């Protein structure tokens, strides 16, 4: 257990003087299914943005496979085995489903393969592989359509598939189950378990606790930018601070509703 | 070929080539409103190389493209720092600077213009136009084309997917400048006379409209847009005065009914499905 794929050391980040992340540290073990939870505004997405290089932390380090990611631009992190999805679906609106998925493969190709016409060299450009992937995830029906007209659940799924196309070591998923119905959530869980069985480490943010419980074994909890729990998910309910954070939240919502 | 038809076809060819130059940049989400400037660079380069050095025609055209591309490449770095309406203004300003330099340089004929000694037939224009159309379709059919469209849709996500946004945008702007230079070279050789006043803001605006109204989502857009706006006024025998009016009306109608341009991916997909009652591999 001393070989984490991702190590966060004292990550701090503020926006306009407001501390959003306050010395956050935890490890994500290789091959694990790790959840990151916390009330709205806790800083979960911000932490993902720091890990993927969209934001630089003011303090602290992100270590991927033991290597400090400082100075490595966001564009190059996907080549280091890091891939992610987004809380608000960020598929390319004018690309077809297939093209969105092919975009996920971009980092795996050399320039010479990028100047081949996709239709005439489907094998060496990865197009054939992308079509196969669509088939295996049961979204081939939508292949040529642009994404904006598709049902929400399908779009969520395409985002996960796109993130997988780079063949990542570590997959960051920001609320993949949000907005899905029960059947879709169950399909997503099966899909992610299969991904995990392939050896890909999962770090996922979600508010759907039954979903998180049935998928993840480790959990880190954040509240107001601070880590308040980090350990096995089975002990989560016994933790005082966690209970307080979530209860406090409920009280606040009740008060604001009153 | 009648002189009239031959003239229309030559203008059509030049407009199509010019449209692809702006399209390549627009496909990455950058609007270039300085088309006339790059066209002028190509036209004057071609005229000088032909008049002063007596270079063969194909070489003068190659140099028109190279010079247009080289200058685009150099100014791509400051220009591409700007975005949206600021980029439009920056490119517009560049075209004005080019026109200003030509007008004030006696060697280039200043406001009286310049006669070009060499000349080409319509066929040459058309052959080059076909090559450029094929080039446009080819680029958009590759992963590079896919990356360009991704940068157009969402720069930040494209970046996280590993797309080098800067390289894509600078590359597209450079190729666009080269193609615009080439169209200028063809213009100079076909008409045999060039003057700075011709390469004015109207030309830049029209070519950008060809592209936006044709549609930037597929390589069909500039072909359809340039053909439509070159041939319709001819077919209707509309004089220059009315051309602007018709342009305005069409643009307003387009903005209401097809804000993404005449040719969109979804429209192509639908047509394809109806023709072959199957799904299309795009
Ligand atoms: N780019 C930004 N500029 C300014 N403030 C930001 C920015 N991004 C996030 N914040 C602020 O940081 C805080 C944490 O936001 P973040 O999105 O990380 O929370 P979260 O835990 O993902 O919440 P949710 O569960 O609602 O998605 C919020 O108060 C938010 O308003
Ligand atoms: Mg969030």
pLDDT tens digits, one per residue of B258-277: 888 889 888 888 888 788 76
Token pair listed for A34: 């790790």
Q: Which of B64, B59, B58, B72 is nearest to B45 (CA)?
A: B64
- Cα separation, B19 vs B226, in Å, equals 6
For residue A56, the model assigns a pLDDT of 95
The yes-or-no verdict on residue B103 having pLDDT over 60 is: yes
Q: Which of A104, A107, A77 is nearest to A163 (CA)?
A: A104
B88 — pLDDT class (breaks 50, 70, 90)? confident
The DSSP result for A180-231, as a single string, is --HHHHHHHHHHHHHHHHTT-EEEEE-S-HHHHHHH-SEEEEEETTEEEEEE
State CA A113 to chain mean position distance: 28
Chain-chain contact of A103 with B161 (C-beta, under 8 angstroms): yes
Q: What ipTM was predicted for this assembly?
A: 0.90
- Cα separation, B64 vs A108, in Å, equals 36
The yes-or-no verdict on residue B279 having pLDDT over 80 is: no
Residue A195, C-beta contacts closer than 8 angstroms, at least 6 positions apart:
A164, A171, A202
How big is chain B, counted in residues? Answer: 282
Residue B149, C-beta contacts closer than 8 angstroms, at least 6 positions apart:
A92, A94, A95, A99, B27, B28, B140, B217
Residues on chain B touching A82 (C-beta within 8 angstroms): none
The average confidence (pLDDT) of chain B is: 91
**Domain boundaries, given as residue ranges, for chain A:** 4-257
Which atom of ligand 1 is nearest the CA belonging to A222? Answer: 21
The tokens 């997405």 sit on which residue?
Answer: A45
The DSSP secondary-structure symbol of A26 reads E
Report how far apart, in Å, the C-alpha atoms of B231 and of each of B5, B9, B10, B12, B273 are.
11, 9, 12, 8, 29
B82 — pLDDT class (breaks 50, 70, 90)? confident
Q: Which CATH architecture has domain A4-257?
A: 3-Layer(aba) Sandwich (3.40)
For residue B208, the model assigns a pLDDT of 93
Cα A90 to ligand 2 centre (Å): 14
Tell me phi and psi for residue A58, to 5 degrees: -75, -30
For residue A255, the model assigns a pLDDT of 47
Q: Alpha helices of chain A — where are they, by DSSP H?
A: 44-52, 74-77, 97-103, 111-114, 127-136, 152-164, 182-197, 209-215, 240-257
User: Which A residues, 68 through 127, put their C-beta within 8 Å of a C-beta on chain B?
Assistant: 74-79, 84, 86, 90, 92-96, 98-99, 102-104, 106-107, 109, 113-119, 125-126
Phi-psi region of B261 (alpha: psi -120 to 50; beta: other; left: phi over 0): left
The DSSP result for chain B, as a single string, is --HHHHHHHHHHHHHHHHHHHHHHHHTTT-----HHHHHHHHHHHHHHHHHHH---HHHHHHHHHHHHHHHHHHHHHHHTTS-HHHHHHHHHHHHHHHHHHHHT-GGGTGGG-EE-S----HHHHHHHHHHHHHHHHHHHTBHHHHHHHHHHH-HHHHHHTT--HHHHHHHHHHHHHHHHHHHHHHHHHHHSEE-GGGSSHHHHHHHHHHHHHH-SSSTHHHHHHHHHHHHHHHHTT--HHHHHHHHHHHHHHHHHH-TT-SS-HHHHHHHHHHHHSS----
Q: Name the more confident of B2 and B16.
A: B16
pLDDT in tens, chain A (258 residues): 568 999 999 999 999 989 999 999 999 999 999 999 999 999 999 999 999 999 999 999 999 999 999 999 999 999 999 999 999 999 999 999 999 999 999 999 999 999 999 999 999 999 999 999 999 988 887 888 889 889 999 999 999 999 999 999 999 999 999 999 999 999 999 999 999 999 999 999 999 999 999 999 999 999 999 999 999 998 888 887 878 777 665 544 544 444
Look at ligand 1, atom 16, and give the residue with the nearest C-alpha. Answer: A43
Instruction: Provide mean pLDDT across the span B82-87.
Output: 83
pLDDT tens digits, one per residue of B168-206: 999 999 999 999 999 999 999 999 999 999 999 999 999
Q: Name the more confident of B233 and B112.
A: B112
For residue A258, the model assigns a pLDDT of 42
| Nearest chain A residue to B136, by CA | A117
Residue B39, C-beta contacts closer than 8 angstroms, at least 6 positions apart:
B18, B68, B180, B181, B183, B184, B187, B199, B203
Contact A185, A211 (CB under 8 A): yes
Cα B35 to ligand 1 centre (Å): 42
The yes-or-no verdict on residue B119 having pLDDT over 50 is: yes
B235 — pLDDT class (breaks 50, 70, 90)? confident
**Strand A4-15, strand A170-174: pairing:** unpaired
Q: Name the more confident of B27 and A250.
A: B27
Site residues for ligand 1, CB cut-off 6 Å: A 15, 20, 38, 40-46, 87
Q: Lay out the sheet containing A82-84: strands in order across.
A: A82-84, A170-174, A201-205, A33-37, A218-223, A226-232
Contact A64, A81 (CB under 8 A): yes
Chain-chain contact of B147 with A116 (C-beta, under 8 angstroms): no
% of chain B with per-residue pLDDT over 90: 73
Query: B50 to chain A, minimum CA–CA distance in Å?
Result: 34
């Amino acid at each position: 257990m001393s070989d984490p794929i991702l190590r966060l050391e004292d990550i701090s980040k503020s926006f306009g003087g407001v501390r959003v992340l306050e010395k956050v540290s935890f490890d994500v073990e290789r091959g694990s299914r790790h959840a990151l939870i916390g009330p709205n505004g806790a800083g979960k997405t911000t932490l993902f943005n720091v890990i993927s290089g969209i934001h630089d932390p003011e303090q602290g380090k992100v270590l991927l496979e033991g290597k400090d990611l400082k100075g490595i631009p966001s564009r190059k992190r996907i080549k280091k085995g890091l891939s992610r999805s987004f809380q608000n679906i960020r598929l390319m609106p004018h690309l077809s489903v297939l093209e969105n998925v092919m975009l996920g493969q971009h980092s795996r190709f050399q320039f010479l393969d990028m100047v081949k016409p996709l239709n005439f060299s489907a094998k060496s450009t990865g197009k054939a592989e992308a079509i196969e992937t669509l088939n295996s995830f049961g979204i081939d029906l939508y292949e040529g359509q642009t994404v904006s007209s598709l049902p929400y659940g399908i779009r969520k799924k395409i985002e996960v598939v796109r993130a997988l196309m780079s063949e990542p070591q570590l997959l960051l998923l920001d609320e993949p189950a949000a907005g899905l119905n029960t059947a879709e959530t169950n399909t997503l869980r099966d899909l992610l378990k299969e991904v995990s069985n392939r050896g890909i480490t999962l770090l996922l943010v979600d508010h759907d606790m039954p979903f998180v419980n049935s998928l993840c074994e480790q959990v880190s909890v954040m509240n107001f930018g601070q880590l308040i729990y980090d350990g096995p998910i089975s002990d989560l309910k016994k933790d005082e601070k966690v209970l307080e954070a979530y209860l406090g939240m409920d009280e606040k919502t009740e008060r604001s509703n009153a | 070929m009648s002189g009239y038809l031959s003239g229309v076809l030559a203008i059509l060819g030049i407009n199509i080539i010019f449209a692809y130059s702006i399209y390549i940049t627009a496909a990455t989400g950058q609007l270039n409103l300085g088309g006339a400037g790059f066209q002028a660079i190509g036209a004057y380069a071609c005229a000088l190389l032909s008049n002063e050095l007596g270079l063969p025609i194909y070489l003068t055209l190659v140099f028109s493209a190279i010079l247009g591309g080289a200058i685009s490449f150099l100014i791509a770095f400051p220009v591409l720092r700007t975005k949206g309406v600021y980029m439009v203004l920056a490119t517009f300003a560049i075209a004005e600077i080019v026109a200003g330099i030509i007008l004030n340089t006696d060697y280039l004929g200043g406001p009286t213009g310049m006669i070009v000694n060499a000349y080409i037939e319509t066929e040459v224009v058309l052959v080059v136009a076909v090559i450029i159309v094929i080039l446009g379709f080819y680029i958009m059919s590759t992963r590079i084309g896919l990356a360009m469209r991704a940068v157009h849709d969402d720069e930040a996500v494209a970046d996280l997917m590993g797309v080098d946004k800067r390289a894509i945008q600078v590359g597209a702007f450079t190729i666009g400048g080269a193609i615009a230079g080439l169209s200028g070279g063809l213009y100079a050789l076909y008409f045999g006379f060039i003057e700075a006043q011709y390469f004015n803001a109207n030309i830049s605006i029209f070519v950008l409209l060809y592209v936006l109204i044709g549609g930037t989502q597929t390589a069909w857009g500039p072909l359809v847009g340039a053909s439509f706006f070159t041939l319709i006024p001819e077919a209707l025998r509309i004089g220059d005065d009315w051309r602007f009016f018709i342009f305005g009306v069409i643009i307003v109608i387009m903005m209401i009914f097809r804000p993404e341009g005449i040719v969109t991916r979804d429209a192509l997909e639908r047509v394809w499905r109806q023709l072959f009652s199957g799904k299309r591999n795009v």
